[in-house]
A and B are shown apart, each in its own frame.
Chain A
C-alpha cells in the first residue's frame, strides 16, 4: 500500500481535460514538501513531468499543470492527446520515513 494515494485509473476523450489527485498526510505533502509528477509510457522509465508542485521542466508541454493544497496535490492535463496515454505517479518526501514516497500510480486512458 502506497503512502500517497492516487486513483487507479482515469480516462478522457481527445481534447478533454482530466485531473489526477494525490493525497498524502501531515508527514509528507502536508509538512510542506513539494509534490512531483512523473509520466511513465509503456516499457519505459518514468519521466519528470512536474516538480515543486507546479513547475514544468524544459520540454514539457504547458498542457500539463500541477497544484497543491494542504495534504493533497493534483495533476491536470488539458487538450488530451492519444500520446498522453500512460501511467502517472506523484512523489514527495516523508519525514517519518526520512525518504521519498510515491503514489500507487494512475493509468490514463485516452478514449
Chain B
C-alpha cells in the first residue's frame, strides 16, 4: 500500500525558509512512472500546485512560486523535499505531498497534509 507522510515545522517566521520532507512507502521513488509533487491549500481555499520532481531529478515549478521553490529527492531515504524561501503570511497553508502519474497527470496518492503557519 502506497503511503506518503509529510514532516516539518508547523510554525515558521516571516522571511525564513520552510523545509518539508515527504517520506514515501510502498512505492519506488526512483520509478519513472511518477511525479513526486507538492500542493498547498490556503485556509478555506482551493488547491494550488507548487511543483514536482521527476525521475532523474528534473523539476517543474508553478511559475508564481518558481523563484522561491526548490524540490529535491533523496532516493536512499525514499524521501523528497520542499524548500520555500522568503516566507510571508500568505504562505500559511496546509502543504500536501502527493504522487502524480506521469502518463495521465493525475494525483493518485496523497499525504495527510501538514499545516504551516508563517508568523513571528
Give A91 to B60 CA distance when docked, in angstroms.
17
Number of B residues with CB within 8 Å of any CB on chain A: 23
Q: Is the CB of A52 within 8 A of B46?
A: no
Which residues of the partner chain A approach B101 to less than 8 Å between Cβ atoms?
A: 51
Assess whether B55 is interfacial by the CB under 8 Å rule.
no
Give A36 to B48 CA distance when docked, in angstroms.
15
Number of A residues with CB within 8 Å of any CB on chain B: 26
Q: Is the CB of B108 within 8 A of A45?
A: no
Looking at A33, A45, A47, the one whose CB has the most chain B CB atoms below 10 A away is: A45
Which residues of the partner chain A approach B106 to less than 8 Å between Cβ atoms?
A: 34, 36, 48, 51-52, 91
Assess whether A99 is interfacial by the CB under 8 Å rule.
yes
Interface segment out of the listed B8-16, B21-29, B77-85, B110-118: B110-118
Which residues of the partner chain B approach A2 to less than 8 Å between Cβ atoms?
A: 46
Q: Is the CB of B111 within 8 A of A89?
A: no
Which residues of the partner chain B approach A57 to less than 8 Å between Cβ atoms?
A: 108
Give A91 to B107 CA distance when docked, in angstroms.
9
Number of A-B contacts (CB under 8 A): 63
A67-111 residues at the B interface, CB under 8 angstroms? 89, 91-93, 97-105
Which residues of the partner chain B approach A100 to less than 8 Å between Cβ atoms?
A: 37, 49, 100, 105, 107
Beyond A45-B112, A99-B61, is A104–B104 a contact (Cβ under 8 Å)? no
* Selected contact of A51 from candidates B108, B110, B111, CB within 8 Å: B108
Whole-angstrom distance between the Cβ of B71 and the nearest chain A Cβ: 12
Interface residues of A (CB under 8 A from B): 2, 33-34, 36, 38, 44-48, 51-52, 57, 89, 91-93, 97-105
Interface residues of B (CB under 8 A from A): 37, 46-49, 51-52, 60-63, 96, 100-101, 104-108, 110-113
| A-B CB contact pairs (8 Å), 29 listed | A34-B104, A34-B105, A34-B106, A36-B104, A36-B105, A36-B107, A44-B112, A45-B113, A46-B107, A47-B110, A48-B106, A51-B106, A51-B108, A52-B106, A57-B108, A91-B106, A91-B107, A99-B49, A99-B51, A99-B52, A100-B37, A100-B49, A100-B100, A100-B105, A100-B107, A102-B49, A103-B46, A104-B46, A105-B47
